[in-house]
Amino acid sequence: MTSIGTGYDLSVSTYSPDGRVFQVEYAQKAVDNSGTAIGLRVKDGVVLAVEKIKHSRLLVPHSNQRILTAGKYIGIASAGWMSDTRHLVKRVREETRNYTDTYKTKAPAHIIAERLGMYVQAYTLYSSVRPFGVSTLLACMDAKKPQLYMIEPSGHYVGYRGCAVGKGKQIAKTEIEKLDLENMTVREAAKEAARIIYSAHDDTKDKLFELELSWVCEESDGLHVHVPQDVYDQSVQFAERSLDEDDDDNEMEDDEDL
Amino acid sequence: MTQLKPGEVSLGTTIMAVQFNGGVVIGADSRTTTGSYIANRVTDKLTKVHDRIYCCRSGSAADTQAVADVVAYHLELYTAQHGEEPTVKVAASLFQQICYQNKNNLSAGIIVAGWDKVDGTSVYEIPLGGSIHKQNFALGGSGSVYIYGYCDKTFRPNMTKEECVEFVRSSVSLAMTRDGSSGGVIRLAVITEDNVERIFVPGNQLPPQYLG
């Protein structure tokens, strides 16, 4: 899939002869090279999990959070440029505020996703700006119904039951497809999300990483919050144990070869 | 807040909206004046802004028509964008935004009433300054001042549809006989989940009252 645009990739306002806008595809590359983020929409809520790659041992644990909240009930996780994410979160906060001012009701998830999609798309029209190098996962509880959307650098957005972005998205997607999301609770989903992040994490590439886990569900009263400490600890333990079991399985295979 | 311009058409008016179980009854007189000349003696002051959301207009005829048109447009757009019907709260909110942001240039006293599947029936009053008040029943217009006592005494929560219609009919009628800017016929509308029923009371069939 890697291809160079030679000549048609200098600005986002140029199509290539085969109908591609290379700058948007390059923005997608920025997303693909970043730490994995996944979202799981289950029976009673949505769980977001991020593989927060740490570039230094000096960073304080749980600092520099990658999962952000907008308007108290919207969770935003992303893969790509963190600075672009912060800008988009600021925009989401303004849009939700603007909606509530006009209609005096909470903005529904599909409206927020649409507004964010339109905003991101606007940056693919002009050569004077660059597209956002982020894929955003938007998690929200709409009057008791959980919703999960992903907005790509092109501005295209789709609702998902489970999705993954970033470096380990292929491995993560395969794992997510095996899950029975319709019948899971958020507590189960939190553990599975942690396990998937741990298994998608490539130890050879980045040694240090921290799991960040958040949810918006009935248990959190419809608010988007980082999961309670006990849920976090259980999920991390579950994830580490699953990894060990996988290692054990691998060892067994080696013995049989003898 | 502006006074009406000299020669501007005024909806002198008595308007009213009352909630009951399962619906809302709105009512108004039918007099539009320019000064002391009655420009229209059979006006319809009950304006539809959406299938089950109506507004009662008082103040400047031009201002209220313009604002109602804008709100009706926005509610149609809302349905297209959201894929579902707007609530009365949303409609009232839009009225309030316009009335408040343009308070220096508008003379509009509006009552918004209707049915939606989220909150059931609602009545909202948006008086001159652009504040918004959710109430069980609302009175508006120049004629309303003459019937506050009667309404406070007569209103009970959870009336039947027939009792509500009678309540609105007799209240508006009393205001019409005392307020010079209100008169003509009484127009009523009953808004429920199923439909909107229009009721017309001719000027010579007003409920009996002491006329001196």
Please write the tens of the pLDDT for every residue from A179-201: 999 999 999 999 999 999 999 99
Is the pLDDT confidence value at A3 over 70?
A: no
Is the pLDDT confidence value at A225 over 90?
A: yes
Q: Which amino acid is at B39?
A: A
List the single residue in A with minimal CA-CA distance to B91. Answer: A103
Q: Which tops the pLDDT comparison, A195 or A143? A: A195
How close A111 gets to chain B, by Cα (Å)? Answer: 7
**Catalytic-residue membership of B160:** no
pLDDT of residue A5: 65
Of A102, A105, A111, the CB nearest to B97: A102
* Longest CA span, chain B: 56
Please count the residue pairs, one from chain A and one from chain B, whose beta carbons lie less than 8 angstroms apart: 23
Q: How far is the C-alpha of B93 from the C-alpha of B112, rounded, in Å?
A: 10
Of B81, B82, B89, the CB nearest to A104: B89
B contacts of A108 (beta carbons < 8 Å) = 82
- Using alpha carbons, select from B129, B111, B155 the residue that is nearest to residue B14: B111
pLDDT of residue A254: 53
Q: Do B89 and A105 touch (CB under 8 A)?
A: yes
A contacts of B87 (beta carbons < 8 Å) = 105
Q: Do B90 and A105 touch (CB under 8 A)?
A: yes
Q: Which amino acid is at A162?
A: G
C-beta of residue B65 within 8 angstroms of C-beta of residue B25: no
Question: Residues 90..129 of B with a Cβ closer than 8 Å to A: which?
Answer: 90, 92-94, 97
pLDDT of residue B165: 96
Catalytic residue among B13, B33, B64, B121: B13
Q: How far is the C-alpha of B130 from the C-alpha of B145, rounded, in Å?
A: 19
Per-residue pLDDT tens digits for B96-155 = 999 999 999 999 999 999 999 999 999 999 999 999 999 999 999 999 999 999 999 999
Per-residue pLDDT tens digits for B51-96 = 999 999 999 999 999 999 999 999 999 999 999 999 999 999 999 9
